[in-house]
């Protein structure tokens, strides 16, 4: 089992920055992929950024050049640095992890609100 706890959300003005954190605990040695997803009101949950065990990353087109995903293996934490935030980035952001056995886990989410 893996537990994921997100933090760092809040209210920010357009153009501002936030840094989200996702702390993993439990069977963390089994994790090989972690990602951030978001769900805006009335919309489907969407993938924002992914990082794998080799530190390879991928981003949604809508956040490329503005968001950066990174991983601190010593602290078992994944970060999402969000710069140049836009009102359309407003959503609940969720951390997700997949183990080598194919089991996946979700965090409880952290809310990000970007005011115009």
Length of the chain: 116
- What single-letter DSSP state applies at residue 28? G
Q: What pLDDT is recorded for position 75?
A: 78
Q: What pLDDT is recorded for position 17?
A: 98
Backbone angles phi, psi at 79, to 5 degrees: -115, 155
Hey, what are 76's tokens?
């078992």
The pLDDT tens digits along the chain (116 residues) read 899 999 999 999 999 999 999 999 988 888 889 999 999 999 999 999 999 988 899 999 999 999 999 998 887 899 999 999 999 999 999 999 999 889 999 999 999 999 99
Hey, what are 78's tokens?
């994944």
Going through the chain in order, the beta strands assigned E by DSSP cover: 2-7, 10-13, 18-26, 31-39, 46-52, 57-59, 67-72, 77-82, 91-99, 104-106, 110-115
């Amino acid at each position: 089992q893996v537990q994921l706890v997100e933090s760092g959300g809040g209210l920010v003005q357009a153009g501002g920055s936030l840094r989200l954190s996702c702390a993993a605990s439990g069977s963390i040695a089994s994790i090989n992929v972690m990602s951030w997803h978001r769900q805006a009101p009335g919309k489907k949950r969407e993938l924002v950024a992914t990082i794998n065990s080799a530190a390879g990353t991928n981003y949604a087109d809508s956040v490329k050049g503005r968001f950066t995903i990174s991983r601190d293996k010593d602290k078992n934490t994944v970060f999402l640095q969000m710069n140049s935030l836009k009102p359309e980035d407003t959503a609940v952001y969720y951390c997700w992890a997949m183990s080598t056995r194919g089991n996946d886990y979700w965090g409880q989410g952290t809310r990000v609100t970007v005011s115009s």
